[in-house]
Every structure is written in structure tokens, then in C-alpha cells.
Structure 1
Amino acid sequence: MLRMSVRIEARGLTKQYGHTLAVDDLSFTVEPGRVTGFLGPNGAGKSTTMRMILGLDAPTRGTVTVGGRRYGELRAPAHEVGALLDARAVHPGRTAFHHLLALAQSNGIAAARVHEVLELVGLSAAARRRAGGFSLGMNQRLGVAAALLGDPPVLMFDEPVNGLDPEGIRWIRELMRGFAAEGRTVLVSSHLMSEMALTADHLVVIGRGRLVADSGLEEFLRSTAEQEMLVRAADPDAFARLLTASGGSVRRGDGDALLVSELDGAAIGKLAAFHGMPLSELAPHRVSLEDAFMELTRESVEYRAGAR
């Protein structure tokens, strides 16, 4: 029977490797019933944090628990937490079926469940093929199948869409959202901001090992971006000059769009009417998750390319 209401809780979580502070006093909670996106630039400490949740790395300080217990204290971990951290962590000589069967047998899971998860991830036809011949996308599906073997209430995925084609990306998105709708706790790390915008309900963002944001997706978008209006005018250059002269701050958007701050929609509409300037669009500008993420984490980027 699936146990619901299982939380992941990190409190003062810290991990130091020699002189390198990978995770620095990190506290957050991953709640059941929603997909939590775990975001951060390269080197932010995401993978290290996920490894500490799974007991693969010991914290230097602080604690992280699943359902109130450290991972090492779980009686039947495969039945309580399913995780995909490295899709290539499979013996290349084993078939997909025997890889999953070995995991099932070592965790007290019936062999029938192996067939169920292979069907669920779309690998039934490849069950007798050796994993060494799999593409990255197939390995991702096999890793997801392994995570689901124990039908756990907590699921963790690190970059699960790597190597998947568009159909596979949609599949994993719907799979994660479906699990959250069942009341499971879903934590997913990804660098694909466009995909996270479609998948996540809540975001935990870290930079240089420290918490940067912990909020719902919509709240995150509102709080990290300056409020702007998107304007399309018959003569964008002329209207941009009028907006600037009236105290607006104007920057170019896509195509002939103007992105205006310091003036609200009513003021922009009155200005256009007064000067007889036709507008084809006047609406709040919805910032993308990528833009909001880049703005929030720009001081936390470890490697930055130079301009040409």
C-alpha cells in the first residue's frame, strides 16, 4: 500500500570536500502532492544534495530525512524512495530484464513487478536486449523503471530528460505530474528551464551551495522579474520615444514588441489614445522561467563564457 504524505526535509545541510564547500547550510522541504523542481547552475550543489538525501554522501553538518528518518534508517528503502541519478549506472552485459530482476530480488520485490515497470516505461520490446547497446534515452527509461520497482511514495530524478526525444520528454513530464497527482513526493533536477516551466509546481533554487529561492512556480516568476507591459504599436520607434518621454523605461522584445516598465497599462493606453497611436497589443509581459532563473542566479554561475 502506497504511503502518502512523505516529506523530504533538509535542515542546515552542509557538505565540505577539503577546502571546497559544496553545500552550505541548506534547508528546504519537498512536500508530497506536487513536482518540486530542484534548480541551480553547474556546480551549485544539486547532485551532492541528492546524494546526501540517498545516504551516498554523509553531511559534514546538518540533517536530511525522508519521512522523518535518515535514508540509512529506512527498513525497505526501495519501497520508500525511488531514484534515478545516473542513467548509465547499469552493467552493460545485463539485459534490461535481468538488471531489474536483480534489483527486485535483492529488495524483496516480485518478478511480476519487473514486467509491469518495463511496460510502464515502454521497454517491453527491449527487455531481452543488453543495456550496453542502449541509447541514452533507453537508459533513462530503464533508470526510471528501476526507480519505480518498489512503487515508492518518494521519487527523485536527476536530469531525467537527457537523451529523450520529444515524445519521451512529454512522457516523463506526464509521468512525474501523474505521480504527484497521486500524492507522491517528486523531486526533479533539470537544466531545461522550458521543461521545468511545464512540469514543476514548486521550485527550490540553489547557487554555490546556498538556498536562493524556495517558492511556487508562479510566485517565483512574479518575484524575480520586474513587472513589464508588452506593447505592439503601429510605429514602435515613435511610440518608444513617447513612452520614454513620459517616464517609461523601454526595451525591445521579440520582433517589433516593446517591453515597458515604470508605466502601467492604463497610462500606456491613454498615451497611445492621446497621440493617435494604434496599438495591436497591450498586455502584462510574462517573463520566462529561463529569464527569471538567469536573473536570480547570475552571481552564482561557476563558469561564464566570454563574449566574441
Structure 2
Amino acid sequence: MQHAVAHSGVKNFMCNVCGKLFSLKHHLAEHLLIHSGVKNFKCDVCGRQFRRKNKLARHLLNHSRVKNFKCDECGKLFHVKSNLANHLLIHSGVKNFKCDECGKLFGLRHKLAKHLSVHSGVKNLKCDECGKLFARKSHLNQHLLIHSGVKNFRCDECGKLFVQKCNLTQHLLVHSRVKNFKCDECGKLFGHKNSFTRHLVIHSGVKNFKCDQCGKLFGQKNNLTKHLLIHSGVKNFKCDECGKLFGHKNSFTRHVLIHSGVKNFKCDQCGKLFGQKNSLTKHLLIHSGVKNFKCDECGKLFTRKCDLSQHCLIH
């Protein structure tokens, strides 16, 4: 009788917590355990607890190391057939579960369920190293790799190592030379979206990152991080030519160009060549005619701050 009801499609038993319907009363009873939080079935191997006995039975297969179910598409092996069935959805490309908040599609229901925690705003998982909070355990686990210092993902093109696979994937766009994101302000092209988004902050003029040491503001967090090296006093980069020390690599790299004699930056106004882009930018102020730097002693105006500084030595 119960078997016939299960196939009839009639669902008369409703969960008072989430409204889900069931054909049989004992199915509803099993479902209610999810909301109760009670987990009476414990794995003797790893201690993990489960609400239902069949979930524990399936879990134990993970410890057996026997993987009899193979994916014909990629060769990946699974302990249980249901896991293989779920995995096959990845290759099918079918995504029937949609997030009502942002419209993102998922191939599996539990993937959607995990994703919804992002929109809840609740972040109960805390990193013991830096205190950062996360909504999902998987995000916390990925973050913890940063503190571990372990970099298992290597770029075959240049050998650079990365903590996370997604970081390597983004980096590979640098070598692909494909740049689909163009800045409407200055025309600069970018290989991936997050680099493009970070760049747009430059034109917005918004500076939300403040140095606690001197109060200087920055538009991007990485620029603040680099700036903090100035206050740390640590200078690990030494010029072999003149012995000058630098706090971060990009300053050191720019300095080395001075000794190389290479000057790739040319002024379109007068043809003067420069070894560094910032030197050319400063030089262009001469042609602009703008004089924003004033001497407090005599009132004389200057185009560049360095010219004002030299003038002030007279007084």
C-alpha cells in the first residue's frame, strides 16, 4: 500500500518548517531530522556525525578507498553511484537550479543551497590567523591556504607559483595575450575582469584604504600594502650597481633602469627620452604651463615640486 502511494504522486504530508511535501509519513519524519539538528549516527573512523543511517553508510565508503564507479568523460572514480550521477551533470552542462537573488545557475541542488549562504550575510566561520569572517567553510578553507604559504599551482609558462588554482587560471590570461576588457577612460586593455575593475578605481578618485602610520590614502589595497613597507624600514632589494636599498620590488626594478641606460619613454612635445614613465609624466608638466607649487617666501610659482624644493634652498 505504501509503495503504491509513493508512486501515485500524491503528497499529503507537509513539513511545518519549510513547507516541503512528502508522500509517506515516515519520509516526513526522516526529513524533520534535518531541522532538528540531531545527529545520532557517528562515523567511528573520523568522528563525523549524520542524521540518517543511510547517509552514514554512504560516508563509510569514503574510508574503504574502494572506487568502483568511473566517469567515462574524465576518468574520475567515485565510491558511490549517486556521486557519479551528480558528477555527470558537470559534463552535461545542464543547470536547472537558479538563485532568485542573483540569477546564478547551478547543476546541483546542494550547490545552490551552499551558494545561498552568500546572500544571507551571515558569516559564522572565522579565520584564527587574521580574524576574517566567511559564510561558507569552503571559502574559509581556501583562505587558510594563504596563511599556510603552500603554493601547489605552478604556471608552465613562467614557473610562477600560486596558492589557489583560480589565481593560476587568472594569471594564465597574461600569457594568452587576450585582453577583452578595455578602459573607456584611458584605453588600457586587461586580460581579466578583476584587474580591469581594480584599474577603474584609479579614474573614480575613490581612496578607501588609509595608512594608519601617516594617513595617506590609496585607491587599491595592494598599493597600501606596498606603501606600508616604507614604514617597516625593511629593505630587502639591493642594487648591485650602486648598493642602494629598496623596500619593494617595483621601486627596485625602476631604479635598475637608470643603470641600464635604456630610455623607452619619449616626450611628444620636445623628443626628450626618459628611462621611467613617471619621469616622463613629471616632465610633461613643463609643457602644460600649469604652475601649482608656490614658494611661501617670495611667491614664485613652479610647475614641479622638485623645482620648488631646489628654489627653497636659496631662502
Structure 1-normalised TM-score? 0.20
**Which of the pair is proportionally richer in helix?**
2
Larger RCO, structures 1/2 (Cα 8 Å, 6+ apart)? 1
